[in-house]
Chain A
Amino acid sequence: MLQASRTTGVNLYTYSEVEDISGFVGNFNVTIRKRARYVTNECNGCGACMDPCPVYGYDEFNEGMNPRKAIYVSFAQAVPSIAQIDMNQCIKCGLCQKACELDAINFDQQDELVTLKVGSVLVATGWDEYKPETGYLGYNIYPNVITELKLERILAPNGPTLGHLFRPSDGKTPKRVLFIQCVGSRDLNKNTYCSSGVCCMIAIKNSKLIKQHYPDTQIDVAYMDIRAAGKDYEEYFTASRKEGIRYIRTNISKLHEDPKTHNIKVIIQNTLRESLGIKEFEYDLVVLSASMVPSKGIDKIQKILKLETSQDGFFKEFHSRLNPIDTKIPGIVLAGASQGPKSIAESIAQGRAAASSLSRLMGKEIYRIKLIRATVDKEKCAKCGLCELNCPYDAIQLMDDGAEVNEILCRGCGSCLANCPSEAITLRYYREPQYEKQIDAILEEL
């Protein structure tokens, strides 16, 4: 991000949202809403405004585990490093204005709409962590049941306790930790897919990290299958077993809390050692390895770009094996987890592939299309508008003198001409008489 912000020719729009995209490859019109930060670009992120601010809110970046002021920088490595005001909390006391030496705070700032002309669009909307419903495996009702992302923040050196492991109920360092894998994934009632082994590897990574800092911690991982596919991944998994992390193949259906100690009691049956029977174990902290789900804003982007989504809710690619980078709309490509759950290494690979796919397209001065496109006989056109309604690609539009086909957007499917009551539309190379001849020839021999 930092490098991108310093590269000439790259314009970053952070804290912004795409409102609308129209047009076609080489000629997209994009409307971007730059949301008001109430702090101008003069800000250098010094943080002088944050000290006098009397209002506290929850730090969203740290999953709400520590307080932040109403004027804040969203997280330490934010690019650009500019403060912003949470207007739901701000009381407009003006103390920050007095503290700011650069006069960068402006309470009257409004959202700004920017329109851009671009040649192509790369969609990289990322992913969110699956939030289990309240009560599922004790999530949201027992304080010591947390998700993987929260543990990630707890263990982070810039997290709420600067990397010291604690459990939410009493702030003590847990001695017994249980990871539960496949929460919300590989489950017919929730998400059917596997999150590409990412949750497995994060759980292994975090359990190794805990073991390094607190070697006497007992760490168990309750798993269905450990999916450590990829270079060095299996070795990483084996190394974690050697460090003393216990892997228990089981499906956990129930856990409950000891109301006095807030410890979590889990009933476990090791399916690889059935002779051990069903036993109850006690843990200080339970971590749910929740699956990857499409990011929240994906519905809006999908409507704006008229993209398809696959069954899992991620954007649908041109072909899941032969071309997982492009979409069916020319000039729009997918990168990273917008197309499906994937790890960092896979996201980088796809991001680079997406960029090269676009540069191959944009590097040429011309864009070649096939001639299999719909054409309209305007003299026959009755201007009923049925074609416009039925076009899946928004390629045909009703003008004053009849329907008009955008030959770049048109993909030659022929839905418009099958629906045209006045037979004004034909498809080049696939005209009605050509099909009639084919049918006649086939049926002649019968």
Chain B
Amino acid sequence: MAGTIRAQYPSTIRPVRINCTGRVTPSLMMRAIGKGADGIIVAG
């Protein structure tokens, strides 16, 4: 989406493509935070 509307976003954002926002589990988010991510945006 960000690509098709040519939105600018900071280079420090790392997208992980997931089939559906329903698939996002708390354990995945906790893992990312545990590995040093500052925050998580769940966008669908």
* Residues of chain A at the chain B interface (Cβ within 8 Å): 372, 390, 392, 412-415, 417-419, 427, 430, 432, 435-436, 438-440, 442-444, 446
Closest Cβ–Cβ distance, residue B10 to chain A (whole Å): 13
**CB pair B28 A439 closer than 8 Å:** yes
Q: Residue B27 at the A interface, CB < 8 A? A: yes
Contact residues in B for A430 (Cβ distance below 8 Å): 18-19, 23
Distance of A443 Cα from B15 Cα, bound (Å): 11
Interface size on B, residues (CB 8 A): 16
Tell me which residues across on chain A come within 8 A of B27, comparing CB atoms. 432
- Residues in B with CB closer than 8 Å to A444 are 35
B22 adjacent to A418 (CB under 8 Å): yes
Residue B2 at the A interface, CB < 8 A?
A: no
Distance in angstroms between the alpha carbons of A28 and B16 in the assembled complex? 37
* B23–A440 touching, CB < 8 Å: no
List, in ascending order, chain B residues with CB within 8 A of A438's CB.
Answer: 16
Among B1-44, those with CB < 8 Å from A are 14, 16, 18-20, 22-25, 27-28, 31-32, 35-37
Q: How far is the CA of A418 from the CA of B24 in the complex (A)?
A: 6
The reply to whether A435 and B28 form a contact with Cβ atoms under 8 Å apart is yes
Report yes or no: A414 in contact with B16, Cβ–Cβ below 8 A.
Answer: no
B35 contacts A440, C-beta separation under 8 Å: yes
| A221–chain B nearest beta-carbon distance, Å | 39
- Which residues in B have their C-beta under 8 angstroms from that of A440? 31, 35
Q: Are A413 and B22 in contact (CB under 8 A)?
A: yes
Rounded to whole Å, the gap between the CB of B24 and the closest CB of chain A is 6
Chain A residues with CB under 8 Å of B35's CB are: 439-440, 443-444
Inter-chain contact A414/B23, CB cutoff 8 Å: yes
Tell me whether A417 and B19 are in contact in the complex, defined as CB-CB below 8 angstroms, given that A439-B35, A443-B36 are known contacts.
no
Cβ contacts under 8 Å, B36 to chain A: 443, 446
B39 to chain A, nearest CB (A): 12
For A438, give the chain B residue with the smallest CB separation: B16
Please list 11 pairs of residues, one from A and one from B, whose beta carbons are closer than 8 Å in the complex, sorted by A's number. Answer: A372-B19, A413-B20, A413-B23, A414-B18, A414-B23, A417-B23, A427-B23, A430-B18, A439-B31, A443-B35, A443-B36
Q: Chain A nearest CB: distance from B23 CB in Å?
A: 3
Cβ contacts under 8 Å, A412 to chain B: 19
Q: Chain B residues with Cβ under 8 A from A418's Cβ?
A: 22-25
What is the CA–CA distance of A321 and B27 in the complex, to the nearest angstrom?
Answer: 37
